[in-house]
Amino acid sequence: MARIQKTALQSGINVITEEMPDVESCSIGIWVHTGSRNEDREVNGISHFIEHLLFKGTEKRSALDISREIESVGGILNAFTSREYTCFYVKVLKKDLPLAIDLLSDIFINSKFDENEMEREKLVVLQEIKMVEDTPDDLIHDLFAERFWKDHPLGWSILGPAATIKSIKRSNIINYYKDHYLTDRVFVTAAGGLKHKDIVKHLQPSIGKIKISKKKNSLKKPASAPGLQLFKKDLEQVHLCLGVPVTPQSHDDRYKTYLMNTILGGGMSSRLFQEIREKRGLAYSVYTYLNLCMDAGSLIAYAGTSKDSFAEVLELIMKEYAELHKNITEDELKNAKEQLKGGMLLGLETSENRMTKLARDEIYFKRVISVKEIVEGIDSVTMKEMRQLAKKLLAPERMTLVAMGKVTNKDLPKSLKFLN
């Protein structure tokens, strides 16, 4: 019997599971291929707000009942919203799976969106927005996305602006929920000590009977906006992001992009960490990361440093970007491959990560990408391919710089004056 199986429920909603016989836990998630990039400006933040509201009570459970019921078996019930999808998930011991499915299905299908609860939860979300605004090493990434994907929903805050959250009405919530959540964009993934047939059986009476509609997930294609934006703020550090556009999540070049990110700033042995932190002590936190979407992507370097070191840190990042295609070594590429494969395999030992991988495969590839295929994809990348891609992607004219702190244009290094 295959470890990974897929079945369409009576409603048409797909259920994808992976059986992990030696694992005591089970993780199951209801996924909606809708995120903040599907929103209009007038309701920016509504997907994240709906995520909160689904935990605020159903016809048969209060918010407290929901919390007590999952905690009474030591389980975890949570949710998250991204730019391209939303997930509501639960993790429990396998013996408690029927309870978990009943609870998860109930909050997804039968949430009341009570007016009073909604007004109280607005206050919670507004505090969450303030928390990000008071945390510069979080805020800088939102500011970067907004400048990088200029005038496109991919650059908007997932939380939304405070003014928008305050103005959202219950009718907005109900209409958006019907149009974006009760559609054929919904699917379920589960992994752990489970049986596929049991998951399908427990979901059929609830999720299997949802009346879903077919909605085209029409997305405006984004384009990056090279350039510069500085945010003057009274901070002890300068926080900066320097990024370039890269290929989308499902592109054939993705393994090369993963490796490029790993070599540049994907750990303590990476180039930026060694050059900026270890050799010069110019930053405590310095790294790169990838933001790969359906039809676009970005590779971003982040650092937090002093105003006096701002120009030097930028010069060092630029130097590594510029020289990667010329001086990458066979040992460096080999080590990056092993780091990627090892990190992936270690991560996939947990049921929640296996559940998430099934979902991301469904969203971005419409099929299961086996671990074997990923390993082979990483191993197949050649030195020549890495050099060619690095030269193409890390060109200065493709860069966007966003910085926040006590900095002005005068603090920029000469090599970046062209961004003005």
Report the distance separating Cα 317 and Cα 28, nearest Å.
41
Q: Which of 152, 175, 209 is the last residue of a domain?
A: 209
Could you say which of 39, 51, 121, 352 is catalytic? 51
State the pLDDT at residue 340.
97
- Integer angstrom CA distances of residue 248 from 145, 194, 263, 278: 16, 33, 19, 32
Domain identity same for 57 and 161? yes
Contact (CB, 8 A) for 287 and 265: yes
- Which residue segment(s) compose the domain that 192 sits in? 4-209
Domain identity same for 299 and 366? yes
Domain identity same for 110 and 247? no
- The first and second tokens of residue 9, run together, are 């429920």
Domain identity same for 403 and 360? yes
Domain identity same for 359 and 288? yes
Q: Which of 183, 209, 235 is the last residue of a domain?
A: 209
CATH of the domain at 344: 3.30.830.10
Q: Determine the longest span between alpha carbons in the chain, in angstroms.
A: 65
Domain identity same for 186 and 309? no
Series of mean pLDDT values for 10-residue runs along the chain (420 residues): 88 96 96 95 96 96 96 97 97 96 96 95 97 96 96 95 96 94 93 96 94 79 93 95 96 97 96 97 97 96 97 95 93 97 95 97 96 96 96 94 94 75
Domain identity same for 36 and 68? yes
Catalytic residue list contains 51: yes
Kindly state whether residue 217 falls inside one of the protein's structural domains.
Answer: no
Q: 3-state DSSP call for residue 409?
A: helix
Report the length, in residues, of the chain: 420
Kindly state whether residue 326 falls inside one of the protein's structural domains.
Answer: yes
Q: How many domains does the chain have?
A: 2
State the pLDDT at residue 417.
65
State the pLDDT at residue 220.
83
Which is it for strands 400-405 and 227-232: parallel, antiparallel or unpaired? parallel
Kindly state whether residue 214 falls inside one of the protein's structural domains.
Answer: no
State the pLDDT at residue 2.
67
Kindly state whether residue 343 falls inside one of the protein's structural domains.
Answer: yes
Domain identity same for 293 and 194? no
Say what the pTM is.
0.94
State the pLDDT at residue 282.
97
- The first and second tokens of residue 326, run together, are 């010329």
Domain identity same for 192 and 236? no
| Residue closest to 286 by CA, chosen among 334, 237, 245 | 237
